[in-house]
Structure 1
Amino acid sequence: MTPEQNDLLCRVEGDAPMGQLMRQHWIPACMIEEVAEPDGTPLRVRLLGENMVVFRDSEGRVGALGELCPHRRASLVFGRNEECGLRCLYHGWKFDVEGNVVDMSSEPADSSMQGKTKAKAYPVIESAGFIWVWMGDPDNVGEFNAPNWSSAPDDKIAIMKIHGACNWAQILEGAIDSSHSSSLHSTNMPTATDVSGSTATDTAWLRPSADKSPRIEVEKTPFGFRYAAIRKPVQDADKQDYVRTSLFIAPFTVIIPSNDKYHLSQLLIPIDDENTFFYWIAWHTETGITRDAWRKFCGAEIGKDVEPVTFRKVRNYENNYMQDREAMKAGDFTGIYGIPCQDMAMWESMGKIADRSEDHLGTSDKAIFTFRTQMYRAAQAVQKGEPAIGTTGTVLPQANLISFQGMVPKDKDWREYNISPEERALREQGKATGKQEELA
């Protein structure tokens, strides 16, 4: 990629086409737990280089307003959250969750300004553990497509959040890169001879394969693409393959292979051009893992591994992620605690925005190549005034999309495993008509 192409793929601030693309989708602003308390502490949120404040009012309604008060541009993050409104400390102007001015302490009671002034307010939806905001055209709010973990009850959804000091695209590329897990995460995902699929313990995910060079196959879909990492298993390698499929749902969602205890989804949300929030969701409709146990497993406990509010890492680039070389000599592959920090060490070491012109992609990078070309072209389309990827044609319900991992007989097609009824029907329709545009 040229530097110009790389910028089109990566940059999201202001009028950048990729940012405009994302504004045609609902974007997670924060976890519900961060603003759970009525009249609680307002939360500063930055998305796509744009600052806002999120708060829950006295009646439990959530508001997302532009951070700066429209009066004299002081931050509303420091405001008083009381009596169904957020009051600016500077002059006492108060705003409800819709941005309406409900009180102007510094103005006469009969001031005509009250009906003419309004704070910028973003449409808000609470779903599946997150506060979602609409940052696009307020007169053309898109339909909310609930994520796949929305099928689980709230107490079966565990969310980890961590700040990444680099661009969103290189983090997302890490999420869809199945081959790296066999090396970078080999201590956390060791080979086991007595399992038939990914098997979770308190400290590791056991795998039935030692193959570090998976064969990658990709299928484009209406929502983005699905790909398979096909590995040679420890047992019966002449009869079966160990297959792990992942889904990229444009523009920032990845569904990665489950284990025997819970499903796994990720959100890679651009804070601005050079910072990202990485959310990792472990969920199950019946079993699953508790929130505290999940954050401990990931090395992302709030107050211990990540700072409260900012979610910045205690183990970071400046301190070499507290890499333990003695542990490496004793057998730990990376010497870095926690799968997310192992990933962050790789992603952040590439620089704030990776220079893709210097990459040398191999056969294991088919999903990376597909992501780059697909999203680059999607940004080009938005630049020309066309709709964003995933917003037109057949929009499949995300709640029904799921990954797959397990043994597949060599005479079977991995594409037939864990396919939603809607996607299967679309695929069959394409075969019947001889047209494959929607899957192209």
Structure 2
Amino acid sequence: MRPADNDLLCRVEGDAPMGRIMRQHWLPVCMSEELEADGAPVKSRLVGVDLVAFRDTAGKVGVLDERCPHRGASLAFGRNEDCGLRCLYHGWKFATDGEIVDMASEPADSRMRNLRARAYPAHEAGGFVWAWLGDPEAVRPFETPAWAPTPTTKIAIVKMHAACNWAQVLEGSIDSAHSSSLHSTNMPTAEVEGSTATETAWLRPSNDKAPRLEAEVTDYGFHYAALRRPIRDPETHVYVRSTVFIAPFTVLIPPNDKYNLAQMLVPIDDENCMFYWIAWHPTGGIGQDAWRRFCAAVPGVDLNPDWTKKRNLQNNFLQDRAAMAAGDFTGIEGIPAQDMAMWESMGPIADRSEDHLGSSDVAIIQFRRQMVAAAKAVQKGEPAIGTTSKSRQVDLASFEGVVPKTADWRTFTTRNARQAEPAE
């Protein structure tokens, strides 16, 4: 990849084309659970824009520029009270829509009372608070995310800061081949008939580490399948792990036998992103606490209050070489931390001109080509990728299972995959 194309793919700040793509989509500001009525406001940063989110007394969420329009003090220190967020510096108070409802330091007839804080359209759904950072005159209708097909869907979320560019994190999400090596301790081969996923491991019916990959472009992005030889009936069946990329930052990754999985890789700025991993199920699935324990991503234990990691590049992710000698493949606790050790070790923005891509990188190649082309299209004034899709996210699904070789994996990336029998 040429350096200029690498920049098109990675950079999101200011007027960068990729940032313009992102701002034509609703972006997740924070998890719903982070906001309490009259509770502490939450700082967020998306595509280089500093924000503050809060839930007012009535339960309504607001997303504002972090800086007070008066003198630029941070509203993250503000008092959230009586249906408004009050700046500590001079007592100006803002409603969720940015209207100034009190201006303690100014007389009643001050012309400054016509000012407003910059507020962004906000929406709450699927366990998240979302904001529209694009043209306020061209707000797209909010689309229900894939992991919330019903209001009662059970959702568990892991949140973690990644100290690198969003694109190299997303490339990890669509890279099915790496899981056979990097996550082999947490995703071992299921040698025993009837074995199922547990809180500490997902079992696989294949020991094939060199999958054959097939991809297909769609109106929402693309989907692809990693096809492996299963342990049982390898002559007549194939082990399929299909992944769905919903442009620009959502991935539906192969589920296990207990819950479905999705990830969002959301740009904070050019060199940082927020990693969200969602486990969901219509009725059961896994609880929030158990999901975070499995991922070794428990706030206060594995993560700092700002969602940065206690296991990080500076301390070598607390890699345990003794555990490696005893059989643990990476010596790093938790699937997300294993991934982040790889992603962050590439540098804040990977130099893709040095890559040597092989047959297992079909999805990576597709992602780079598609998103660079999308950035160039936006530069020409064309619609952002994903904004003209006729496919509904809730009708899409990833898939994992052993199927007859005569089956077409493409049929398993629509909603029927959630009810499909994985094997004869």
TM-score, normalised to structure 2's length? 0.96
Matched residue, 2:400: 405
CA–CA separation in structure 1 for the residues paired with 2:79 and 2:324: 50
Q: Is the 8 A contact 2:223 2:413 kept in 1?
A: no
Q: Is the 8 A contact 1:195 1:206 kept in 2?
A: no
1:239 alignment partner AA:
T
Matched residue, 1:39: 38
Deviations 1:12-52 (CA, angstroms, capped at 9, x unpaired): 001000000010000001000011x1110011110001001
Matched residue, 2:324: 328
2:67 alignment partner AA:
L
Task: Return the offset for 1:152.
Answer: 4.8
1:164 alignment partner AA:
A
Matched residue, 1:72: 71
2:346 to 350, 353, 356: 350
**Which segment is superposed worse, 410-419 or 286-295?**
410-419
Matched residue, 1:136: 134
Matched residue, 1:378: 374
Matched residue, 1:265: 262
2:203 alignment partner AA:
L
Corresponding position: 1:218 with 2:215: yes
Q: Is the 8 A contact 1:266 1:278 kept in 2?
A: yes
Give the match's secondary structure for 2:230.
Answer: coil
Corresponding position: 1:315 with 2:311: yes
Task: Return the offset for 1:193.
Answer: 2.2
1:99 alignment partner AA:
G
2:17 alignment partner AA:
P
Q: Is the 8 A contact 2:47 2:268 kept in 1?
A: yes
Matches within 5 A, 1:76-91: 76-91=75-90
Q: Is the 8 A contact 1:194 1:208 kept in 2?
A: no
Please give the root-mean-square deviation of Cα atoms over the aligned residues, in Å: 1.2
1:401 alignment partner AA:
L
CA–CA separation in structure 1 for the residues paired with 2:70 and 2:222: 46
Q: Is the 8 A contact 2:242 2:413 kept in 1?
A: no
CA–CA separation in structure 1 for the residues paired with 2:343 and 2:151: 33
Q: Is the 8 A contact 2:60 2:96 kept in 1?
A: yes
Task: Return the offset for 1:177.
Answer: 0.1
CA–CA separation in structure 1 for the residues paired with 2:406 and 2:103: 72
Corresponding position: 1:12 with 2:8: no
Matched residue, 1:179: 177
Matches within 5 A, 1:106-255: 106-115=105-114, 117-153=115-151, 156-195=154-193, 199-255=196-252
Give the match's secondary structure for 1:205.
Answer: coil
CA–CA separation in structure 2 for the residues paired with 1:302 and 1:138: 35
Aligned pair count? 416
Corresponding position: 1:365 with 2:336: no
Task: Return the offset for 1:321.
Answer: 0.3
CA–CA separation in structure 2 for the residues paired with 1:32 and 1:155: 15
CA–CA separation in structure 1 for the residues paired with 2:249 and 2:321: 34
Matched residue, 2:422: none
Q: Is the 8 A contact 1:159 1:282 kept in 2?
A: yes
Structure 1 gaps, min length 5? 422-440
Task: Return the offset for 1:154.
Answer: 5.5
Q: Is the 8 A contact 2:153 2:283 kept in 1?
A: no
1:291 to 285, 288, 292: 288
Q: Is the 8 A contact 2:54 2:63 kept in 1?
A: yes
CA–CA separation in structure 2 for the residues paired with 1:414 and 1:256: 14
Deviations 1:285-318 (CA, angstroms, capped at 9, x unpaired): 011000000000000000000012x111010001
Matched residue, 1:415: 410
Q: Is the 8 A contact 2:185 2:329 kept in 1?
A: yes
Give the match's secondary structure for 1:367.
Answer: helix
Task: Return the offset for 1:408.
Answer: 1.7
Deviations 1:233-266 (CA, angstroms, capped at 9, x unpaired): 1111001000000000000000001111100000
Matched residue, 1:99: 98
Q: Is the 8 A contact 2:153 2:282 kept in 1?
A: no
1:396 to 391, 401, 411: 391
Task: Return the offset for 1:417.
Answer: 2.1
Matched residue, 2:421: none
1:55 alignment partner AA:
F
Structure 2 gaps, min length 5? 417-424
Task: Return the offset for 1:398.
Answer: 0.5
Q: Is the 8 A contact 1:195 1:208 kept in 2?
A: no
Give the match's secondary structure for 1:109.
Answer: coil
State percent identity of aligned pairs.
Answer: 64
1:305 to 279, 292, 302: 302
Deviations 1:176-220 (CA, angstroms, capped at 9, x unpaired): 000000000000010112358x93112100000000000000011
CA–CA separation in structure 1 for the residues paired with 2:94 and 2:409: 53
CA–CA separation in structure 2 for the residues paired with 1:195 and 1:87: 61
TM-score, normalised to structure 1's length? 0.93
Task: Return the offset for 1:153.
Answer: 4.7
Matched residue, 2:420: none
Q: Is the 8 A contact 2:397 2:412 kept in 1?
A: no
CA–CA separation in structure 1 for the residues paired with 2:156 and 2:206: 27
Task: Return the offset for 1:155.
Answer: 6.9
CA–CA separation in structure 1 for the residues paired with 2:45 and 2:243: 28
CA–CA separation in structure 1 for the residues paired with 2:212 and 2:242: 12
CA–CA separation in structure 2 for the residues paired with 1:43 and 1:127: 17
Corresponding position: 1:278 with 2:275: yes
